[in-house]
Amino acid sequence: METRTSDAHVIDTPAIELPARSISELDRLGDEIAELSAHLEAATARLLTLIREFDARGGWNNGFRSCAHWLSWRVGLDLGAARERVRVARALGTLPRLAQALARGELSYAKVRALTRVATPETEERLLAVGRAGTAEHVERIVRAWRWVDRKAERRAAAQQHAGRALHVRQDEDGMVTVRGRLAPEVGALLLRALDAAREVLYQRARAHEAEVGPMDVSAETPSMAQQQADALALLAETALHHGIDPGTPGERYQVVIHVDAPVLADPDQPGQAVLEEGARVSAETSQRLACDASRVVMRHDEEGRVVEIGARTRTIPPALRRALQHRDRGCRFPGCGVRFGQGHHIRHWAQGGPTTLSNLAMLCRRHHRAVHEEGYRVERRPDGDMQFRYPNGWLIPGVPPPADVPADPEHVIRAQNQADGLALHARTATPSWLGERLDVGYAIAVLHPLARKR
Ligand SMILES: [Zn+2]
Ligand SMILES: [Zn+2]
C-alpha cells in the first residue's frame, strides 16, 4: 500500500484507506446497484415480450421497413441496438427458460443477448447453466467458441452438399434417356424457375394453337405434370443452344419492359392498361412507380397500339442531377428509414408534367417508393423546401416522434410492477456462481456442445 507523501507523484486510489463505516456504506451502494439492475433486467424482459408481440402482429408495418427501423425511430435506439432487441425478442419466443431467467432478474440482458445467438430449444438448458455460472465475459467467450463449432459443422454440411452435386444422364435400351441428379439448393431453385417459365410458354402456345384451329382432338388428353416437365426441359435445352448458352449480363436478364397506355401513366383512373413484356398485367400505380425513375424501358402507346414514345433515355435522371440528389437527401427521405441508396421519386410525376429537377425529386428506397406509389402514403414539398410524409389517412408522419410520457418516479413504477409480478429481487439475484477459477473454454465446449469432438 502506498503512503502518501507531500512530494511523491503517486496518484492515490481513494478506496484503499477508507474507514470501516464507509466500506459498509459502499457495500450498500453496490448492493443497491445490483438490486436496481435486477429490477431493470426484469423490466427488460417485459419490454422484449411487448416487442415480440408488436413484431409478430406487424404493428410496425405502416410504412417502416422492419420492426427494428420502427423501434429505432420510435424510441431513439441506434439501428444496430434496435435490430439486436428484435432478434433477442424473437429468439426468446422459442427459449422459455432463458426468457424466464431474464424475467426473474437472474440473467442480465447482456448474457441473454449472447446466449440467444447460439441457443436452440435442445441446448437452452445447458446454456442457461453457463449463463448462471459464469460472468458476462465467460458467457461471451463460450458463445464465441460455440459459434465456431456451429459454423464448422455448417461449413462441413455445405461442403458435403456441394461435393454431392451430380447429374446422371443415361440412355436406356429402348433409346429413352433417364435423367437423375442432385443439385445445390440455389441451382435447384434456378432450374425450377426455368421449368416453370418453360411450362408457362408451352401452355400459352397450346392455348393460342387451340384458338386458331379449334379445340384439340378429344382423344388427346391433357399431359400429366411429369410429361409437361419433360416438354419444358426440352424447350430449355433448345433455347439454351439457340442462344449459344449465353446467360447474358445481369442487367439484361432482369430488365423490365412495361407497355403503358399513355393516359394511364398520367392518371391511374383513366381507362387503359399497363402490361409487362411477358404479358403480366400490373396496376397503373405500379407502372407509375416503375416509370418514376425510369432506368427501365417504357413504351407509351396511342389508341391504335402504336408505340408513341420510348421513355427510358429521356426520363432517366441525368448523372449530375442524381449525384446532387444523393448529396442532398443522403438516402431515403421517409421518416425513420435511413437506407443509403434509393430511386429518384418525382413528387409530381413526369407524366403529369412534373419536371425532372432537384426540387421535384425525393430519394426513396425501393420499399418506400412502393409505399408512396401503391400504398397511399404521400410525400409533399413544403414551401420552405422541406419534405413531409403522410399516412394514407392523411395524418402527418413525424420525422422524430414525441417522447413518451414518463412517470415522475419511473424506478418506483418498475419496482411496483416487479413486486406485482411476485418477484423478490435482491442484490444477489444475478450473482454468478463462479468462484474465481480459470475458465477452460475448450473443455467447456467439449462437454457442452452436442457437435463438438469429445476429447
Ligand atoms: Zn416515384
Ligand atoms: Zn426508405
C-alpha 75 to ligand 2 mean position (Å): 18
C-alpha 329 to ligand 1 mean position (Å): 15
Count CB atoms within 10 A of the CB of residue 408. Answer: 6
Q: How far apart are CA 160 and CA 256, in angstroms?
A: 37
C-alpha 373 to ligand 2 mean position (Å): 13
Q: Are 109 and 41 in contact (CB under 8 A)?
A: yes
Residue pLDDT, tens place only, 318-330: 778 888 888 888 8
Per-residue pLDDT at 116 exceeds 80: yes
C-alpha 325 to ligand 2 mean position (Å): 15
Per-residue pLDDT at 313 exceeds 60: no
Band (201; pLDDT cuts 50, 70, 90): confident
Q: How far apart are CA 419 and CA 412, in angstroms?
A: 10
Per-residue pLDDT at 380 exceeds 70: yes
Per-residue pLDDT at 288 exceeds 60: yes
Number of helices and strands in the chain (H, E): 17, 12
Q: How far apart are CA 43 and CA 1, in angstroms?
A: 42
Instruction: Return contacts of 29-32, CB within 8 angstroms, 24+ apart.
Output: 30/427, 31/426, 31/427, 32/427
pLDDT at 454: 55
pLDDT at 338: 76
Q: What is the dihedral of CA 275, 281, 285, 291, to 10 degrees?
A: -30
Cα atoms in the Cβ-side hemisphere of radius 13 Å centred on 59? 12
C-alpha 78 to ligand 2 mean position (Å): 16
Residue pLDDT, tens place only, 259-273: 666 666 666 666 666
Q: Nearest ligand to the C-alpha of residue 334?
A: 2
Residue pLDDT, tens place only, 93-102: 999 999 999 9
> 378 is written with which cell numbers?
404521400
Q: Nearest ligand to the C-alpha of residue 333?
A: 2
Q: Nearest ligand to the C-alpha of residue 372?
A: 1
Q: Nearest ligand to the C-alpha of residue 340?
A: 2
Q: How far apart are CA 426 and CA 105, in angstroms?
A: 9
Q: Where does 295-359 have alpha helices with state H?
A: 312-315, 319-329
Burial class (CB in 10 A: 0-12, 13-18, 19+), 346: buried
C-alpha 348 to ligand 1 mean position (Å): 9
Its pTM surpasses 0.95: no
Beta bridge partners of 346: 361
Q: Are 168 and 180 in contact (CB under 8 A)?
A: yes
Q: Length of the chain, please?
A: 455
> 432 is written with which cell numbers?
454468478
